[in-house]
Protein backbone atom coordinates (compact mmCIF):
# COMPACT_ATOMS: atom_id res chain seq x y z
CA UNK A 1 0.00 0.00 0.00
CA UNK A 2 1.37 3.39 -0.94
CA UNK A 3 1.80 5.93 1.84
CA UNK A 4 -1.09 8.29 2.32
CA UNK A 5 -0.88 11.62 0.58
CA UNK A 6 0.10 14.41 2.97
CA UNK A 7 -2.82 16.58 3.97
CA UNK A 8 -2.52 20.14 2.72
CA UNK A 9 -3.91 22.77 5.03
CA UNK A 10 -6.66 24.83 3.46
CA UNK A 11 -5.88 28.54 3.26
CA UNK A 12 -7.39 30.51 6.11
CA UNK A 13 -10.77 32.03 5.40
CA UNK A 14 -9.34 35.55 5.65
CA UNK A 15 -6.80 34.78 2.92
CA UNK A 16 -9.61 33.77 0.61
CA UNK A 17 -11.46 37.09 0.82
CA UNK A 18 -8.46 39.41 1.16
CA UNK A 19 -5.22 37.88 -0.18
CA UNK A 20 -1.95 39.61 0.66
CA UNK A 21 0.56 40.56 -2.00
CA UNK A 22 4.01 40.73 -0.47
CA UNK A 23 3.85 43.58 2.01
CA UNK A 24 3.10 42.56 5.61
CA UNK A 25 -0.04 44.02 7.17
CA UNK A 26 0.27 47.03 9.47
CA UNK A 27 0.06 46.56 13.21
CA UNK A 28 -3.41 46.22 14.69
CA UNK A 29 -4.79 49.62 15.59
CA UNK A 30 -2.40 51.49 13.29
CA UNK A 31 -3.81 54.93 12.45
CA UNK A 32 -4.94 55.82 8.97
CA UNK A 33 -7.60 54.96 6.44
CA UNK A 34 -7.79 51.52 4.86
CA UNK A 35 -8.73 51.44 1.17
CA UNK A 36 -10.92 48.44 0.33
CA UNK A 37 -10.90 47.68 -3.41
CA UNK A 38 -13.57 45.83 -5.40
CA UNK A 39 -12.74 44.06 -8.71
CA UNK A 40 -14.38 44.53 -12.11
CA UNK A 41 -16.37 41.76 -13.83
CA UNK A 42 -14.10 38.78 -14.42
CA UNK A 43 -11.31 40.45 -12.46
CA UNK A 44 -9.22 39.38 -9.49
CA UNK A 45 -7.70 41.05 -6.45
CA UNK A 46 -4.31 41.04 -8.17
CA UNK A 47 -5.17 44.14 -10.21
CA UNK A 48 -4.58 46.04 -6.95
CA UNK A 49 -1.45 44.15 -5.91
CA UNK A 50 0.87 47.20 -5.98
CA UNK A 51 -1.57 49.81 -4.75
CA UNK A 52 -0.36 49.78 -1.16
CA UNK A 53 3.13 50.74 -2.34
CA UNK A 54 1.73 53.30 -4.78
CA UNK A 55 -0.42 54.91 -2.07
CA UNK A 56 2.09 54.71 0.78
CA UNK A 57 1.69 57.61 3.17
CA UNK A 58 -1.92 58.19 2.10
CA UNK A 59 -3.47 54.99 3.47
CA UNK A 60 -2.76 52.59 6.32
CA UNK A 61 -3.39 49.61 4.04
CA UNK A 62 -5.04 48.41 0.85
CA UNK A 63 -7.35 45.39 1.10
CA UNK A 64 -8.34 43.94 -2.28
CA UNK A 65 -11.42 41.74 -2.39
CA UNK A 66 -11.13 38.29 -3.99
CA UNK A 67 -14.50 36.94 -5.10
CA UNK A 68 -15.33 33.23 -5.47
CA UNK A 69 -14.33 31.51 -8.71
CA UNK A 70 -10.83 32.99 -9.01
CA UNK A 71 -7.41 32.75 -7.39
CA UNK A 72 -7.41 30.55 -4.26
CA UNK A 73 -11.19 30.46 -4.65
CA UNK A 74 -11.08 28.90 -8.12
CA UNK A 75 -13.12 25.87 -7.08
CA UNK A 76 -15.90 27.93 -5.53
CA UNK A 77 -18.97 28.75 -7.57
CA UNK A 78 -19.11 32.45 -8.48
CA UNK A 79 -22.14 34.46 -7.46
CA UNK A 80 -24.70 35.24 -10.16
CA UNK A 81 -26.92 37.62 -8.18
CA UNK A 82 -26.04 40.90 -6.49
CA UNK A 83 -28.12 40.45 -3.33
CA UNK A 84 -26.38 37.37 -1.88
CA UNK A 85 -22.96 38.64 -2.98
CA UNK A 86 -23.44 42.02 -1.29
CA UNK A 87 -24.67 40.34 1.90
CA UNK A 88 -21.65 38.02 1.97
CA UNK A 89 -19.14 40.85 1.47
CA UNK A 90 -20.80 43.11 4.05
CA UNK A 91 -20.88 40.25 6.53
CA UNK A 92 -17.20 39.50 5.98
CA UNK A 93 -16.21 43.13 6.51
CA UNK A 94 -18.14 43.23 9.78
CA UNK A 95 -16.73 39.88 10.90
CA UNK A 96 -13.20 41.11 10.25
CA UNK A 97 -13.75 44.44 12.02
CA UNK A 98 -12.89 46.37 8.86
CA UNK A 99 -15.73 48.89 9.10
CA UNK A 100 -13.90 51.72 10.80
CA UNK A 101 -11.79 54.40 9.14
CA UNK A 102 -12.08 52.91 5.66
CA UNK A 103 -12.76 54.00 2.09
CA UNK A 104 -14.07 52.05 -0.90
CA UNK A 105 -12.75 51.92 -4.45
CA UNK A 106 -14.56 49.98 -7.15
CA UNK A 107 -14.11 49.74 -10.90
CA UNK A 108 -17.01 48.85 -13.20
CA UNK A 109 -18.93 46.03 -11.44
CA UNK A 110 -16.76 46.78 -8.42
CA UNK A 111 -18.22 50.28 -8.17
CA UNK A 112 -21.74 48.88 -8.11
CA UNK A 113 -20.76 46.37 -5.41
CA UNK A 114 -18.99 49.04 -3.34
CA UNK A 115 -22.12 51.22 -3.39
CA UNK A 116 -24.44 48.34 -2.47
CA UNK A 117 -22.13 47.13 0.30
CA UNK A 118 -22.03 50.67 1.71
CA UNK A 119 -25.84 50.68 1.75
CA UNK A 120 -25.91 47.22 3.38
CA UNK A 121 -23.50 48.33 6.10
CA UNK A 122 -25.64 51.40 6.75
CA UNK A 123 -28.70 49.16 7.23
CA UNK A 124 -26.71 47.16 9.79
CA UNK A 125 -25.81 50.29 11.72
CA UNK A 126 -22.12 50.08 10.82
CA UNK A 127 -19.97 53.16 10.13
CA UNK A 128 -19.99 54.10 6.45
CA UNK A 129 -16.98 54.59 4.19
CA UNK A 130 -15.17 57.87 4.63
CA UNK A 131 -14.93 58.20 0.86
CA UNK A 132 -16.36 56.26 -2.09
CA UNK A 133 -14.34 56.12 -5.31
CA UNK A 134 -16.18 54.78 -8.36
CA UNK A 135 -14.50 54.18 -11.70
CA UNK A 136 -15.61 53.07 -15.16
CA UNK A 137 -19.19 52.52 -14.02
CA UNK A 138 -22.60 53.86 -14.88
CA UNK A 139 -24.69 55.04 -11.94
CA UNK A 140 -26.68 52.20 -10.33
CA UNK A 141 -30.08 53.19 -11.77
CA UNK A 142 -28.62 52.83 -15.29
CA UNK A 143 -27.84 49.11 -14.86
CA UNK A 144 -30.12 46.29 -15.99
CA UNK A 145 -30.50 47.03 -19.71
CA UNK A 146 -27.85 44.65 -21.08
CA UNK A 147 -27.61 40.89 -21.61
CA UNK A 148 -23.98 40.02 -22.46
CA UNK A 149 -24.08 37.11 -20.00
CA UNK A 150 -26.39 35.32 -22.45
CA UNK A 151 -23.96 35.53 -25.39
CA UNK A 152 -22.47 32.32 -26.83
CA UNK A 153 -18.82 31.80 -25.87
CA UNK A 154 -17.41 33.09 -29.17
CA UNK A 155 -19.42 36.32 -28.95
CA UNK A 156 -18.58 36.74 -25.28
CA UNK A 157 -14.88 36.53 -26.20
CA UNK A 158 -15.43 39.23 -28.82
CA UNK A 159 -17.24 41.38 -26.27
CA UNK A 160 -14.32 41.04 -23.83
CA UNK A 161 -11.88 42.07 -26.54
CA UNK A 162 -14.07 44.96 -27.64
CA UNK A 163 -14.10 46.63 -24.23
CA UNK A 164 -10.34 46.27 -23.85
CA UNK A 165 -10.34 43.33 -21.41
CA UNK A 166 -7.53 41.60 -23.30
CA UNK A 167 -5.24 44.60 -23.57
CA UNK A 168 -3.32 45.73 -26.64
CA UNK A 169 -2.00 43.00 -28.90
CA UNK A 170 -3.72 40.19 -27.00
CA UNK A 171 -6.24 39.09 -29.62
CA UNK A 172 -4.52 35.68 -29.62
CA UNK A 173 -6.07 35.14 -26.19
CA UNK A 174 -9.50 34.95 -27.81
CA UNK A 175 -9.06 31.26 -28.54
CA UNK A 176 -6.75 30.37 -25.66
CA UNK A 177 -7.37 27.84 -22.90
CA UNK A 178 -6.73 30.65 -20.41
CA UNK A 179 -9.70 32.64 -21.64
CA UNK A 180 -11.84 29.50 -21.73
CA UNK A 181 -11.19 29.11 -18.00
CA UNK A 182 -12.07 32.74 -17.33
CA UNK A 183 -15.32 32.85 -19.33
CA UNK A 184 -17.54 31.23 -16.66
CA UNK A 185 -16.45 33.80 -14.07
CA UNK A 186 -16.91 36.67 -16.51
CA UNK A 187 -20.33 35.36 -17.50
CA UNK A 188 -21.39 35.02 -13.84
CA UNK A 189 -20.19 38.53 -13.00
CA UNK A 190 -22.02 39.98 -16.01
CA UNK A 191 -25.16 38.21 -14.82
CA UNK A 192 -24.71 39.95 -11.45
CA UNK A 193 -24.59 43.31 -13.25
CA UNK A 194 -27.31 42.65 -15.81
CA UNK A 195 -29.73 41.18 -13.29
CA UNK A 196 -29.26 44.10 -10.88
CA UNK A 197 -32.15 46.52 -10.38
CA UNK A 198 -31.62 49.63 -8.33
CA UNK A 199 -34.20 50.43 -5.69
CA UNK A 200 -34.58 54.00 -4.42
CA UNK A 201 -32.82 54.77 -1.14
CA UNK A 202 -31.53 57.91 0.47
CA UNK A 203 -28.09 58.95 -0.81
CA UNK A 204 -24.90 58.11 1.02
CA UNK A 205 -23.40 60.87 3.16
CA UNK A 206 -19.72 60.34 2.31
CA UNK A 207 -17.75 62.32 -0.30
CA UNK A 208 -17.62 60.63 -3.68
CA UNK A 209 -15.11 60.76 -6.53
CA UNK A 210 -15.85 59.27 -9.96
CA UNK A 211 -13.52 58.47 -12.85
CA UNK A 212 -14.65 58.32 -16.47
CA UNK A 213 -12.56 57.49 -19.55
CA UNK A 214 -12.64 59.02 -23.01
CA UNK A 215 -12.96 55.75 -24.96
CA UNK A 216 -14.98 53.67 -22.52
CA UNK A 217 -17.77 51.80 -24.39
CA UNK A 218 -19.32 50.60 -21.11
CA UNK A 219 -19.74 53.85 -19.17
CA UNK A 220 -19.60 57.23 -20.90
CA UNK A 221 -18.97 60.54 -19.14
CA UNK A 222 -22.66 61.36 -18.65
CA UNK A 223 -23.40 57.93 -17.18
CA UNK A 224 -20.51 58.31 -14.72
CA UNK A 225 -21.58 61.86 -13.90
CA UNK A 226 -24.99 60.46 -12.87
CA UNK A 227 -23.35 59.13 -9.68
CA UNK A 228 -23.58 62.73 -8.38
CA UNK A 229 -27.11 62.07 -7.10
CA UNK A 230 -25.89 59.24 -4.86
CA UNK A 231 -24.25 61.40 -2.20
CA UNK A 232 -25.31 64.35 -0.08
CA UNK A 233 -21.65 65.27 0.35
CA UNK A 234 -19.12 66.54 -2.17
CA UNK A 235 -18.81 64.96 -5.62
CA UNK A 236 -15.88 65.24 -8.00
CA UNK A 237 -15.42 63.61 -11.40
CA UNK A 238 -12.11 63.14 -13.22
CA UNK A 239 -12.04 62.39 -16.94
CA UNK A 240 -9.01 60.50 -18.26
CA UNK A 241 -7.79 59.36 -21.68
CA UNK A 242 -8.23 55.62 -22.09
CA UNK A 243 -10.59 52.70 -22.55
CA UNK A 244 -12.66 50.79 -20.01
CA UNK A 245 -9.58 49.19 -18.43
CA UNK A 246 -7.51 52.34 -17.99
CA UNK A 247 -6.65 51.25 -14.43
CA UNK A 248 -4.53 48.34 -15.69
CA UNK A 249 -1.02 48.52 -17.15
CA UNK A 250 1.04 51.57 -16.21
CA UNK A 251 -0.05 54.22 -18.69
CA UNK A 252 -0.76 57.90 -18.03
CA UNK A 253 -4.43 57.23 -17.15
CA UNK A 254 -3.54 54.76 -14.39
CA UNK A 255 -0.83 57.07 -13.09
CA UNK A 256 -3.31 59.93 -12.89
CA UNK A 257 -5.88 57.70 -11.19
CA UNK A 258 -3.39 56.74 -8.49
CA UNK A 259 -2.19 60.33 -8.14
CA UNK A 260 -5.76 61.60 -7.58
CA UNK A 261 -6.51 58.77 -5.16
CA UNK A 262 -3.36 59.47 -3.22
CA UNK A 263 -4.14 63.17 -2.95
CA UNK A 264 -7.73 62.76 -1.84
CA UNK A 265 -6.97 59.99 0.65
CA UNK A 266 -4.11 61.99 2.16
CA UNK A 267 -6.46 64.93 2.70
CA UNK A 268 -9.03 62.93 4.68
CA UNK A 269 -9.24 64.26 8.26
CA UNK A 270 -8.40 61.86 11.06
CA UNK A 271 -11.34 59.62 11.92
CA UNK A 272 -13.28 60.50 15.07
CA UNK A 273 -13.21 58.20 18.08
CA UNK A 274 -10.49 56.55 20.09
CA UNK A 275 -9.17 53.03 19.95
CA UNK A 276 -11.04 52.16 23.14
CA UNK A 277 -14.32 53.05 21.38
CA UNK A 278 -13.63 51.00 18.28
CA UNK A 279 -13.28 47.34 17.49
CA UNK A 280 -9.78 46.16 16.63
CA UNK A 281 -9.58 44.75 13.11
CA UNK A 282 -8.29 41.31 12.21
CA UNK A 283 -5.23 41.95 10.08
CA UNK A 284 -4.40 38.37 9.09
CA UNK A 285 -5.38 38.35 5.44
Please give the full DSSP string across 57-88, using - where no structure is assigned. Answer: TTBSEEEE---TTSGGGTTSPPP-SHHHHHHH
Look at residues 282, 211, 208, 214 and name the one whose alpha carbon lies nearest to residue 243. Answer: 214
Beta strands in 205-273, from DSSP E residues, in sequence order: 208-213, 235-240
Confidence (pLDDT) at 9: 41
User: What is the model's pLDDT at position 285?
Assistant: 32
Q: Which residues of the chain have pLDDT under 70?
A: 1-15, 22-31, 164-179, 271-285
CA 78 to chain centre: 15
For residue 108, the model assigns a pLDDT of 95
Over residues 19-69, the pLDDT tens digits come to 887 666 665 556 689 999 999 998 899 999 999 999 988 999 999 999 999
CA distances from 94 to 117, 128, 148, 216, 280 (A): 11, 12, 33, 34, 11
End-to-end Cα separation, the chain, in angstroms:
39
In whole angstroms, what is the distance from residue 248 CA to residue 244 CA? 10
> Do the Cβ atoms of 243 and 215 come closer than 8 Å?
yes
| Residue 118 pLDDT | 98
Check residue 29 and give its pLDDT: 58
Does the annotation count 176 as an active-site position? no
The pLDDT assigned to 236 comes to 97
Alpha carbons 146 and 86: distance in angstroms, whole number? 20
Q: Please identify which of the residues 2, 81, 108, 234 carries the catalytic annotation.
A: 108
For residue 144, the model assigns a pLDDT of 86
Q: pTM of the predicted model, to two decimals? A: 0.86
Amino acid sequence: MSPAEPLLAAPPRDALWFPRFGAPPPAAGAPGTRLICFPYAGGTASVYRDWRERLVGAVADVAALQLPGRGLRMREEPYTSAGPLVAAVAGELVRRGLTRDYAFFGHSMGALLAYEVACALRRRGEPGPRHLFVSGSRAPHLYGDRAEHLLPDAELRDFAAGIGALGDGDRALLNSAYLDRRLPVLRADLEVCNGYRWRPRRPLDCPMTAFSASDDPVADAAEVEAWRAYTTSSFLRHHVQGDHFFLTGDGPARQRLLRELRGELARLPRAAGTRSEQREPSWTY
